[in-house]
Amino acid sequence: MILQERVDLTASNTLALPGRAALYASIVDPVQLAAAEFRHRPRFILGGGSNLVLTGDFDGLLLHMAIPGKRLLREDAEAWYVEAGAGENWHDFVQWTLAQGWPGLENLSLIPGTVGAAPIQNIGAYGLEVAERFHSLRAWDFEKQAFLMVDRNDCRFAYRDSLFKQEGWHLSGRMAITAVVFRLPKVWQPNTRYADVAQELAAQGIAAPTPQDVAAAISAVRRRKLPDPAVTPNAGSFFHNPLVDRAKAEALAADYPTLPRYPQPDGRFKLAAGWLIEQAGWKGKNLGPVGMYEKQALVLVNRGGATGADVRRTMAAVQAAVHEKFTVDLTPEPIFL
Ligand code: NAP
């Protein structure tokens, strides 16, 4: 395997921020991970770079996970069990499962990134989280120098969160996810409860959608609302939707009757970060080369030539504006390296 030095990462992160990795290797086969030079610390595991804020040069080893492969592992009366390599493009994998006749991931169409990154932040969209279709994953543990299997129950999945985001796991480079297995139930029902999806299907005159119809509708909505990173560099949703207690939600709703708020099983309410940002005056607004997207205020965009410092400046300004207006704190979703 080839260990490269001082590798430019600008094209490896979808925000197109500049920075170099002191050491870099692309992993295409899990067995490569046992190599002695990969014990180097600090270590960072990179997937599609679509949830990353590169703050400058990284003085460590960056391992780009490019392991390919997708296959049906087995099926039983209830479900198909499908495995994909960590380096597979997420959207291409979703499309492939649909083409095989194995629905279940269609609501996660067009989410950027790789299969290996999907469980880390428990990607979710339009009323579905990947945790609901996750079966298990295989990972290389650099400390134990062994592969391990992690089942769904051990992943501590939560809203855009998992065990792998916690200290000491994937994000600190202790382990590298090499493959993920999904359980796709054979009993299928369309999940069209998000207004955007229902409206798109209605506009197309589709009353009884197939999985492909749902995927196409979601792809159309996303293409309309979200910037293409190849044209306008971005990292998708930049802030978590904040969770507040009932009293806070009611107090805000008294002042702002149109405030979107969604009750959660734990009694709290989820607010829409994009709405708060828009109301705070940041939709389509820029500070230097970094702004919030004009069609969806939750997406932070690089207007050209931005650095990690520029991102931090705009992020702080948006957080301050939202805090001043609503006394709600926004936390960023991407990982800072
Ligand atoms: P939207 O439809 O404008 O809705 C704004 C927010 O309200 C969303 O964040 C969503 O929460 C919530 N919401 C809307 N309808 C809901 C319902 N019926 N039940 C519960 N919550 C509801 O959102 P958007 O920004 O255009 O994004 C559309 C979907 O794509 C969302 O699910 C969003 O999370 C997802 N998305 C995910 C990523 C990512 O994983 N990084 C990036 C971009 C978009 P939820 O976020 O909990 O769904």
Residue pair 243/160 in contact (Cβ under 8 Å)? The answer is no
At residue 314, the pLDDT reads 98
Whole-number percent of the chain with pLDDT over 70? 99
Burial zone of 214 (CB within 10 Å; 0-12 exposed, 13-18 middle, 19+ buried): buried
**Hey, whose CA ends up nearest to atom 8 of ligand 1?**
272
Q: Kindly state the tokens that stand for 160.
A: 């855009």
Closest ligand 1 atom, CA of 194?
18
At residue 336, the pLDDT reads 94
Rounded CA-CA distance 256/278 in Å is: 13
Closest ligand 1 atom, CA of 124?
40
How far, in Å, is the centroid of ligand 1 from the Cα of 127? 8
At residue 1, the pLDDT reads 58
Distance of CA 333 to the CA centre of its chain: 8
Q: Which residues have a catalytic role annotated?
A: 160, 237, 333
Closest to 214 measured CA to CA, from 189, 182, 236, 237: 189
Whether residue 42 is preceded by a cis peptide bond, meaning omega within 30 degrees of 0, is yes
Bridge partner residues of 25 (DSSP): 63
Rounded CA-CA distance 291/33 in Å is: 38
Residue pair 313/17 in contact (Cβ under 8 Å)? The answer is no
Interval 297-308 mean pLDDT: 98
Residue pair 103/211 in contact (Cβ under 8 Å)? The answer is yes
**Hey, whose CA ends up nearest to atom 16 of ligand 1?**
194
At residue 154, the pLDDT reads 94
Place of tokens 């990972």: 139
Confidence of residue 2 (pLDDT cuts 50, 70, 90): confident
At residue 172, the pLDDT reads 75
Place of tokens 């790789």: 114
How far, in Å, is the centroid of ligand 1 from the Cα of 98? 22
Contacts 24+ apart (CB under 8 A), 95-104: 95/215, 96/70, 97/182, 97/184, 98/211, 98/212, 98/215, 100/72, 102/72, 102/184, 103/184, 103/188, 103/211, 104/133, 104/182, 104/184, 104/185, 104/188, 104/211
Confidence of residue 232 (pLDDT cuts 50, 70, 90): very high
For 56-78, the pLDDT digits (tens) are 999 999 999 999 999 999 999 99
CB-based pocket (< 6 A), ligand 1: 111, 123-126, 193-194, 196, 225, 236-237, 241, 260, 262, 272, 274, 296, 298, 333
Residues 6 or more apart whose CB falls under 8 angstroms from that of 272 comprise 241, 260, 298
Radius of gyration of the chain (CA): 20
How far, in Å, is the centroid of ligand 1 from the Cα of 41? 37
- For the chain, what is the largest distance between any 2 Cα atoms, rounded to a whole number of angstroms? 61
At residue 214, the pLDDT reads 98
245, amino acid identity: D
Question: Is 77 in a helix, a strand, or coil?
Answer: coil
Residue pair 63/168 in contact (Cβ under 8 Å)? The answer is no
Place of tokens 């989280």: 129
pTM: 0.94
Residues 6 or more apart whose CB falls under 8 angstroms from that of 84 comprise 69, 70, 93, 115, 179, 180, 182
**Hey, whose CA ends up nearest to atom 30 of ligand 1?**
125
At residue 87, the pLDDT reads 98
pLDDT score of 169 more than 90: no
Mutate to test the pocket of ligand 1, among 262, 271, 277, 300 (most ligand atoms within 8 A of CB): 262
For 139-148, the pLDDT digits (tens) are 999 999 999 9
pLDDT score of 249 more than 70: yes
Closest ligand 1 atom, CA of 272?
6
Closest ligand 1 atom, CA of 241?
9
Residue pair 52/112 in contact (Cβ under 8 Å)? The answer is no
Confidence of residue 97 (pLDDT cuts 50, 70, 90): very high
How far, in Å, is the centroid of ligand 1 from the Cα of 261? 12
**Hey, whose CA ends up nearest to atom 18 of ligand 1?**
194
How far, in Å, is the centroid of ligand 1 from the Cα of 235? 15
As a whole number, the mean pLDDT across the chain is: 96
pLDDT score of 167 more than 80: no
Query: Where do runs of H (alpha helix) occur along the chain?
Result: 90-100, 195-203, 211-225, 246-255, 273-279, 308-326
How far, in Å, is the centroid of ligand 1 from the Cα of 34? 39
Residues 6 or more apart whose CB falls under 8 angstroms from that of 306 comprise 15, 16, 17, 233, 288, 289, 290
Place of tokens 């390919």: 68
Confidence of residue 166 (pLDDT cuts 50, 70, 90): confident
Closest ligand 1 atom, CA of 160?
40
